[in-house]
Structure formats: structure tokens, C-alpha cells
Amino acid sequence: MSIVNVHNEWDPLEEIIVGTAINARLPKPDISVHAIDFPELEKLEDIPFGAFPSHVINETEEDLQTFIETLQKLGVKVRRPEVVDHAKVFKTTDWETDGLYNYCPRDIILAIGDMIIEAPSPLRSRFLEAFAYKKIFIDYLRSGSRWISTPKPQLLDDCYGTPNGFEICLKNEEPLFDAANILRIGKDILYLISNSGNELGAQWLQSTLGSEYRVHTSYNVYNHKHIDTTFTFLRPGLVIVNPQRVNSQNMPPLIKNWDKIWCPEMIDVGYVGKMALSTTWIGMNFIMVNPNLAIVEKRQIHLIKALEKHKIEVIPLQLRHPRTLGGGFHCATIDVRRKGKLEDYS
């Protein structure tokens, strides 16, 4: 029986991969880093790089360990990637780079149904990141899960336009997307077009998933990166929406008739270093354990009250550096098994 079995963001959680902050670093600046992570900066020379401070790594690992222990007490099986030296330089015939981290498996691993898909990240520094999960994937394969990778991208300079901070600068030269551009709603897949996901990526995903699924592209919602600080699906018919990015004009048709919680003001938890990898909206990057239980960063008191008002119990946990590392509890995980079956919620 396939270990991988996941169809949405809320069914009762049974197995999850939790990332690691060990050896996390910002890669050497290149055209992909400029376009994807720092489009608001004018020059490559302005982009920060190098290892994150040791206290950021240590405190994050402490927080992740508490998170893991909480999940295990709830009966959830937890797996973790191998530790990798991201300072090592690697290259193709066209470019060379060093690595980023394995903190956010959500970005590079897409689990849908009984399938694991390795996503074609537009960041060159993430080209080999999935190697840290290979032993886990082999175990899934042996259980009967399907395991595929998107066409390995070349990531040539032509893939990237001129960063200007506002317009999407990821071109449509080859299929490119982070898995965090995608949310699963049963037979419907919501796919954000942004600097970290292009139209060809959506087309490839639809062709791969086949007629059993419907991939819905969402435009002009959030041009920078991922979708999981814009929408958080709680249960069938109920979604939290980022009021700064979404309105009646750009609301995805797929969820226009859903009940909506307009996300309250986020508590700014700050960041370490020259620039943050995430905005304050990383606070709504939380994970549903089941339709009635969420794990939320404990400082987001307004969000917690909003969830409790809708009869969702909250386990508040500490995650000290989500803006520094660019990921909350949703980003730092990939749920691979939830108790449920494929449904049509449209």
C-alpha cells in the first residue's frame, strides 16, 4: 500500500516530512537569486549571501524538535532529510552555484494522491536539493508510491527577465515552479503564476496529472513567490485569505463561493540580517493537523483568535525565525499522508 496518500490541505494528518535548518545559507548571488528572491534590489552586489548565524540555526532546530514531538504525540509519523553541506559548489555546463538549505521541503516536493513529484525550482541553488530526500523517496517507491521528477531545467539566463520588484520576471522558457506555488483542493489544484512558477509549469503539471485533476492558474494575486502566505485552506468550503493581496477582482473563481476568513493583522516577528526572506504574512503559513486542529506560530494571537472563533482548535508553538529563513510551519514541512480519499469540492 502506498505510503504517499494526500489529496488536500486538511484531512487528518498521518505522515509528514519536516525540514532542517542545519547548514542553511544564502547562496552566492546570481541572476536566479536576483530574479526570484531579491527582485527589489538593483544590483547583484546588494544581495546578502553566506551562512545564517549559528543562533538562528540552533534556535530553529530546537523549535522544529518541539514541533516534531508535538506531531508524534498526535500520532503523526515524522521523517527528516539527510544533513547536507550546502556550501559545496556545483555546476552544470552553463553556470555554477552553491546551495541554499533543506529547511523548506514544501518548495521542492509536491505530494498529490499517491505520487511524489520533484519540482523544477527556478533557483539554481536548489537544483540538487531533493537529493537529501532520496532515501525517503525510495522507501515510498517500495511501498507502491509513484515517484517522478519534472524535466530537469537548464535555468539559462534567458529564463529570467529584468527584476524590478513588481512585475513577474520569470519567463516562460521551460517548465519552472516551486511546489509551494501549489495548493491541493481534492480534484482541483490551485497554481499561482509568480516569480517562482510559470505557465509552462502549470501546463506540465496538468498533462502529468491527467483528466482526473483540474489545474487552475491564478494571476495577479501575488507576483513575488509562493501561494501559502496568500491562501490557507482549513476544511471544505472555508479558507483564510490575505486581505492585502486578494480582493473581489482577483479572487480565484474556484473559491469565490467559499466562506472566507480575511486574515487579521500579522504580528511582525522581525528577522536577523540585512534582509528577510519572507514578509510579515509568513504568520499565516501554518498547517492543519485535521479540519478542527491547526498548529500556528504562538505570537500570531489575532490569527489564533480568528481560527478559534470558527471552532478550530489551535496548538500554539514557537518558531523564532520564519522571516529570516523564509518559512513557517507549512513551508518547513510536506504532508505526504492524510487519512482521506480524492473528493470533488467544486
Q: How many helices (H) and strands (E) does the chain have?
A: 7, 19
From the list 226, 263, 321, 335, the catalytic residue is 226
With contact defined as beta carbons under 8 Å apart, do 31 and 156 qualify?
no
- Mean pLDDT across 314-339: 98
Confidence (pLDDT) at 209: 97
Active site residue 159: no
Cβ(23)–Cβ(160) under 8 Å? no
pLDDT of residue 32: 96
Beta strand pairing call for 259-262 and 238-241: parallel
Location of C-alpha cell 508553538: 317
Mean residue pLDDT across the chain = 96
For the entire predicted model, the pTM comes to 0.95
Of the pLDDT bands very low, low, confident and very high (cuts 50, 70, 90), residue 264 is: very high
Question: Which amino acid does the sequence have at 138?
Answer: I
Under the banding of pLDDT at 50, 70 and 90, the label for residue 165 is: low
Residue 246: what pLDDT? 96
For range 236-248, the mean pLDDT: 96
Rounded Cα distance between 230 and 346, Å, is 20
Phi, psi angle pair for 288, to nearest 5°:
-90, 125
Catalytic residue among 63, 178, 188, 335: 178
The residue extents of the domains of the chain are: 13-338
C-alpha distance from residue 86 to each of 8, 143, 326 (Å): 32, 30, 16
Catalytic residue among 159, 169, 263, 331: 331
Mean pLDDT of all residues in 2-28: 98
Write the pLDDT tens digit of every residue in 145-161.
Answer: 999 999 999 999 999 99
Candidates 276, 327, 324, 320; CA nearest to 298 is 320
Q: Are 170 and 194 in contact (CB under 8 A)?
A: yes
Average pLDDT over residues 295-312: 98
HSE-up (13 A, CA, CB side) for residue 282: 26
Mean pLDDT of 306-312: 97
Query: In whole angstroms, what is the distance from residue 337 CA to residue 179 CA?
Result: 16
Rounded average pLDDT over 282-298 = 98
Q: How many CB atoms lie within 10 A of CB 290?
A: 17
Give the CATH superfamily of 13-338. Answer: L-arginine/glycine Amidinotransferase; Chain A (3.75.10.10)
Q: How confident is the model at residue 163 (pLDDT cuts 50, 70, 90)?
A: confident
Annotation says 178 is catalytic: yes
Helix/strand/coil (H/E/C) assignment for every residue in 33-94: HHHHCCCCCCCHHHCCCEECCHHHHHHHHHHHHHHHHHHHHCCCEEECCCCCCCCCCEECCC
Q: Summarize the confidence of residues 205-226 as an average pLDDT.
A: 95
- Specify the pLDDT at position 27: 97
pLDDT given at position 164: 76
End-to-end CA distance of the chain: 28
- Per-residue pLDDT band at 167 (split at 50, 70, 90): confident
pLDDT above 90: residue 162: no
pLDDT at 166 over 80: no
For residues 133-147, average pLDDT: 98
Percent of the chain with pLDDT over 70: 100
Nearest to 48 by CA among 27, 21, 24, 23: 27
Q: What is the pLDDT of residue 346?
A: 86
Structure letter (DSSP) for residue 179: G
CA angle 96, 179, 27 (to 5 degrees): 30
pLDDT tens sequence across 40-53: 898 999 999 999 99
Strand order of the β-sheet with 293-297 is: 287-290, 293-297, 313-317
pLDDT of residue 74: 98
Q: Which residues contact 45 (CB under 8 A, 6 or more apart)?
A: 29
Average pLDDT of the segment spanning 152-174: 91
